[in-house]
Amino acid sequence: LNQVECGAKSASPDFVAAVAQALRIDVTVLTGQPYVTELQQDRLAALVRPIREALDLYDLGVDDELPGRPPAELVAAANRLCGQVRAARLRKAAC
């Protein structure tokens, strides 16, 4: 592994398959085949597009009846949202 990482040896297909199996991921994740990445980007764009459109159209005015939330609560909510996005749970994050 170290020799492949430093470029002393090239990664054979068997080596890549073994690493993918050890990591429990698909070989295409390691090889970075463009069509997989493009497909993921297209799916992500399709999920994000309605959110962006809604935000562009919606103007939230001041509502004095809504209580302000404490900063710690806002930070916790933002961290939950970021965690959902990092875990690719975009539908859950959008709700």
Whether 21 and 44 map to the same domain: the answer is no
Whether 14 and 47 map to the same domain: the answer is no
Q: pTM above the 0.85 mark?
A: no
Whether 13 and 28 map to the same domain: the answer is yes
Domain assignment of residue 51, given as a range: 34-56+71-95
| Domains contained in the chain, number | 2
For the segment 36-94, what is each residue's pLDDT rounded down to a tens digit?
Answer: 566 677 778 888 888 888 888 877 777 888 888 899 999 999 999 999 988 888 888 88
Across the chain, mean pLDDT equals 83
What integer pLDDT is reported at residue 34 of this predicted model? 61
Name the one residue in this structure whose structure tokens are 């975009």. Answer: 90
Whether 5 and 23 map to the same domain: the answer is yes
Whether 87 and 43 map to the same domain: the answer is yes
